[in-house]
Each structure stands twice: as structure tokens, then as C-alpha cells.
Amino acid sequence: MNVTYDFSGKVALVTGAASGMGRVSALAFAAAGATVAVTDIDTTGGRSVAEEITDAGGNARFFEVNVTDPDSVQAGVADLVSAFGGLDFAHNNAGAEGQHGKFLEQSRENFDKTVAVNYASIFHCMQAEIPAMLERGGGSIVNTASAAGIIGGYGFAPYGGAKTGVIGLTKHVAQEMAEHNIRINSLAPGPINTPFIADFPKPVLDRLLTGTPIGRLGEPDEIAQAVLWLCSDGASYVIGTALTVDGGTVIGGMSTRADDLGH
């Protein structure tokens, strides 16, 4: 059962909104009455999500943004502020898993790409979003981290390390921005039923589910509901936290191991 929120008159930005958790987050913001800036590098998917919102009677527009490029992020936020008059909420969700493998077998290229899209992108996004929120007198930012950023997992070093960085970066910036009425939190999903997780090797996914006490994948809407709550007045005293929405993955342990990767 979904909780009803009223974000009428608010503007929400969602990165990585063309599919998966980002798409459902954008739809949820729109259903709550927010005007939604749908952003992604996938122009076809992003436009489709924006059309899905407008066809349902909501207000949305697609903005092509590459979150690994700070100039693209700054331009995208400037464009949406020009179009919608400001920014109140941001769900910095864009990310990519990268390659699984033993640490000593990881390439520098994979590491750099994984860090760029999962960690540095959050820095770029917040630097663009916060000035716009200051103009509105406050706001709320939710950064997508991962359960892998809280506990260890075999073969996840670049991705898990980047997501640990997201949690830390969120805490530091949240402390600076709290006095300006901007609340910043991170969200740590467990394994979620999205195209993102379809790339996991089956042994890895099977073992992740074994280590998840609830025994199933989470659904994107379960993440979206957490995002909306963190942006709502109901979470007005929640600042700098890493909220796990993971079916118990963190308490169960991410029980991947070498033979899951064929070693």
C-alpha cells in the first residue's frame, strides 16, 4: 500500500530516469503532484517516461544530461530551472554496476568508469542542485547508494567502494547544508527487480537472495516510496542518514564468494 504525498507546486529532478528505479521514482513524484525533470543520457527512454507522465495528466519534461560531465549537469539544472522556475527535490539515482571480478583483476578503465558514474556524478549533481535549492529557501536531495556500500561483497570492489563514497559524501554535504534548510540523505537499496540487476551473473544473484532474509528481490516502487518519504515533511528531522531499503541484505550479509565468479 502506497502512502499519499502532496507535492503540488514542487519541482523534482530525477537522474537515470529512463528506466528502472529512476523511472518509477519520476512516476511517483508526478503522481504526488510534483513537476518532474526527467533526466538521462538515454533520450528515447527518457522522453518516453516524460510522455508517460504527461499522458497521465502530470507535468514533466525530458532533459538530456550526462551525469559524468559536470558541464552537462550544470546546463541541465539551469535548463530545468528556466523551464520550471526552480528546484525543490532531487533524486540522484543514475548509476552503473560495472564489471564483477577479483580486485587484482579489475582494470583501471572499469574502476574509473564505475567511480565516475556512481560517485563523482553525485558530487557534480549536488553542486548544480544546491544553488537552485538555496534560491527556493530549501529542498531535499536523495542520493542512491547501495547495500554494497555498507557491507562487503566478493567481486564488487569498484562498485561497492563508490557507493560507500556516496554515503560518506552525503553525510559531509548534509552537515553543511542543514542550516540552509536543505536536507540530504542517501538511500541504500538491496537487490531490486530492475534491468540493472539483470546483468548480474546468476550465481551472484542467487547468493544475494540467499543472504537477503526476506528472500526476494525488492520492487522499484518500494524504493520510490522511500524517496518520497525522505523528501516529505514527514522526514523533516532526517538528515545525513543512509536509509537501507534492502529486505535485510545488510543484516543478512552479502554472501558472494569466489566460485560465484567462476574462480
90 burial level (CB within 10 Å; 0-12, 13-18, 19+): buried
Other CB atoms within 10 A of residue 55 CB: 9
What pLDDT does 237 receive?
Answer: 99
Confidence of residue 256 (pLDDT cuts 50, 70, 90): low
Q: Which CATH superfamily is domain 11-261 in?
A: NAD(P)-binding Rossmann-like Domain (3.40.50.720)
Specify the pairing of strand 139-144 against strand 182-189.
Answer: parallel
99 burial level (CB within 10 Å; 0-12, 13-18, 19+): middle
DSSP per position, 78-92: HHHHHHHS---EEEE
Q: Is 154 a catalytic residue?
A: no
pLDDT above 70 as % of the chain: 94
Segment 207-214 mean pLDDT: 83
* Res. 255: pLDDT tops 80: no
* Res. 125: pLDDT tops 70: yes
* Res. 45: pLDDT tops 60: yes
Three-state secondary structure along 190-202? CCECCHHHHHCCH
Instruction: Name the range with the highest mean pLDDT among 158-172, 193-207, 240-254.
Output: 158-172
Give me the catalytic one of 5, 119, 154, 159: 159
What pLDDT does 211 receive?
Answer: 81
Q: If you average pLDDT over every residue of the chain, what do you get?
A: 93
Do 147 and 188 meet the contact criterion of CB atoms below 8 Å apart? yes
Q: How many CA atoms lie within 13 A of 248 on its CB side?
A: 9
What pLDDT does 205 receive?
Answer: 77
What pLDDT does 2 receive?
Answer: 62
Angle between helices 70-84 and 121-136 (to 10 degrees): 30
Cβ neighbours of residue 43 closer than 8 Å, sequence gap 6 or more: 62, 64
pTM exceeding the 0.85 threshold for the entire prediction: yes
What pLDDT does 1 receive?
Answer: 47
